[in-house]
C-alpha cells in the first residue's frame, strides 16, 4: 500500500453558502485550479468535513444540499441533475479548470449520471456506487412517496429506473437495523426489463472514473455494481476490499456511529483500510 499523504498543514478558507442553494465551499488559502463537487448519499447531509479534507489536499471542494432543503423535494425523487450542473457553474466561476465529482451511494449514482450529461466533468470518484438508476427514496416535491418514480430527471424528463419489489421482507426482527442488499438484488431480478433500460451507460462518458467498493456492503451490492461499471467504462479503476462495507472512510475522517436504522456492513477498520487504499488514486484523479 502506498503511504497516506499528510495534508494537515495546508491552510484552508471555508465559506458557508445560502444562495442559490445551501452548502459549503472549502479551498486552500493559496487557491486551486482543481475543483470537486462532493455529494452525500441518502443522508442528505452537506459534507463539510470531507470538503475540509479535500481542501487540505489542495482541492477546491463544494458540497450542497440537493434534497430536503427549502424549495427542494423532501426525498430523492426526480431530482434535476441540473442541480449539480449549477454547482459546477459555481466551481468554474471560482476558478476551477479541472472538475471532479465525488459521490457516495446515491451521490455516486448522481455523479455518474452527471458525467454522462455535462462534458465539463473530467473525473468521477464513486464510493459504494450503483450501475443502475433506482426508484425514489422518499417523497417528491408533491410530498407523495408512491407510486414509484425515478430518483432523477434531466431537462424535465424522468430517467428510466428500477422499482422496488414490495414483496421483499426484512430478515431482521422489528426495531433492529435493516440490511437492504437483498432488496436491491431481488428488485433487479424482478424488474429485469426495467433494469436493462435503467443501466447507467458509463461507456458514453469521457470522464475518468474511480470506483471504490466494499464486498461486505449490506446496503446494496456495491462491489457487484462497481465491477459491472468497470467492465463497460472507457477509463475506469476499481479499488475494493472484501471486508469493507457501505461507509468508505478516507484518511483523516472520523468513524461514523452505527446507524439505528440501517446495517451498513464492514468494520471501522476495513472501511478505513479501503479508504486508505483509494486515497492516493482519489487525489491523483481529482488533481489531474
User: Binning pLDDT at 50, 70 and 90, where does residue 7 land?
Assistant: low
pLDDT tens-digit map of 144-154: 999 999 999 99
> Around Cβ 259, how many Cβ atoms within 10 Å?
14
Q: How many domains does the chain have?
A: 1
CATH, residue 170: 3.40.50.1820
Q: Can you read off the three cell numbers belonging to residue 38?
A: 462532493
Residue 4 lies in a domain: no
Among all chains, which residue has been given the C-alpha cell 457516495?
104
How confident is the model at residue 1, as a pLDDT? Answer: 44
DSSP 3-state of 61: strand
Domain of 57? 12-287
**Rounded-to-integer distance, Cα 239 and Cα 217, Å:** 14
Strands (DSSP E) contained in 83-146 are 98-104, 123-127
Region 8-17: mean pLDDT is 86
**Contact between residue 94 and residue 103 where contact means Cβ atoms under 8 Å apart:** no
Band (200; pLDDT cuts 50, 70, 90): very high
Strand partners, 102: 38, 125
In a domain, 77, yes or no: yes
> Sorting pLDDT into bands at 50, 70 and 90, what band is 5?
low
Give the C-alpha separation, 29 to 108, whole Å: 28
Would residue 229 count as lying in a domain?
A: yes
Decide if 5 is inside a domain. Answer: no
Contact 217/194 with Cβ under 8 angstroms? no
pLDDT in tens, 225-271: 999 999 999 999 999 999 999 999 999 999 989 999 999 999 999 99
Query: Does residue 228 lie in a domain region?
Result: yes
Vertex 66 angle, CA 267 and 219, to 5°: 25
- Which pairs with CB-CB distance under 8 Å and at least 24 residues apart come from 65-71? 65/21, 65/22, 65/23, 66/21, 66/39, 66/110, 67/138, 68/44, 69/21, 69/22, 70/22
The rounded distance, in Å, linking the Cα atoms of 94 and 31 is 9
Task: Indicate the average pLDDT of the chain.
Answer: 95
DSSP track, 20-44: SS-EEEEEETT--SEEEEEE--TT-
In a domain, 2, yes or no: no
Residues 212 and 248: beta-carbon distance below 8 Å:
yes
Residue 69 lies in a domain: yes
Phi, psi of 194 (to 5 degrees): -65, -35
Question: C-alpha grid cell for residue 28?
Answer: 486552500
Domain contains 7: no
Q: What is the CA radius of gyration of the chain?
A: 18
pLDDT of residue 10: 81
Residue 2: its pLDDT value, please?
Answer: 46
* Residues 60-104: tens digit of each pLDDT: 999 999 999 988 999 999 999 999 999 999 999 999 999 999 999
| Residue 20: pLDDT band with limits 50, 70, 90 | confident
Amino acid at each position: 500500500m502506498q503511504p497516506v499523504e499528510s495534508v494537515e498543514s495546508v491552510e484552508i478558507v471555508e465559506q458557508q453558502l445560502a444562495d442559490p442553494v445551501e452548502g459549503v465551499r472549502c479551498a486552500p488559502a493559496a487557491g486551486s485550479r482543481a475543483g470537486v463537487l462532493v455529494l452525500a448519499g441518502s443522508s442528505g447531509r452537506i459534507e463539510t468535513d470531507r470538503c475540509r479534507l479535500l481542501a487540505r489536499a489542495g482541492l477546491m471542494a463544494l458540497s450542497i444540499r440537493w434534497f430536503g432543503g427549502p424549495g427542494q423535494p423532501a426525498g430523492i425523487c426526480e431530482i434535476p441533475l441540473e442541480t449539480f450542473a449549477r454547482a459546477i457553474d459555481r466551481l468554474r466561476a471560482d476558478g476551477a479548470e479541472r472538475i471532479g465529482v465525488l459521490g457516495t451511494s446515491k451521490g455516486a449514482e448522481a455523479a455518474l449520471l452527471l458525467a454522462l450529461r455535462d462534458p465539463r466533468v473530467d473525473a468521477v470518484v464513486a464510493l459504494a456506487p450503483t450501475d443502475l438508476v433506482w426508484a425514489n427514496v422518499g417523497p417528491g416535491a408533491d410530498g407523495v412517496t408512491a407510486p414509484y418514480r425515478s430518483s432523477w430527471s434531466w431537462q424535465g424528463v424522468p430517467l428510466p429506473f428500477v422499482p422496488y419489489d414490495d414483496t421483499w421482507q426484512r430478515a431482521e426482527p422489528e426495531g433492529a437495523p435493516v440490511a437492504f442488499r437483498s432488496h436491491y438484488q431481488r428488485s433487479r431480478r424482478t424488474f429485469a426489463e426495467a433494469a436493462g433500460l435503467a443501466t447507467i451507460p458509463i461507456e458514453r462518458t469521457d470522464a475518468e472514473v474511480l470506483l471504490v467498493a466494499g464486498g461486505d456492503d449490506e446496503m446494496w451490492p456495491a462491489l457487484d455494481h462497481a465491477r459491472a461499471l468497470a467492465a463497460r467504462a472507457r477509463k475506469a479503476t476499481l479499488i475494493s476490499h472484501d471486508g469493507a462495507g457501505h461507509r468508505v472512510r478516507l484518511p483523516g475522517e472520523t468513524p461514523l456511529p452505527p446507524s439505528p436504522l440501517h446495517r451498513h456492513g464492514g468494520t471501522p477498520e476495513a472501511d478505513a483500510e479501503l479508504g486508505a487504499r483509494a486515497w492516493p488514486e482519489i487525489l491523483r484523479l481529482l488533481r489531474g
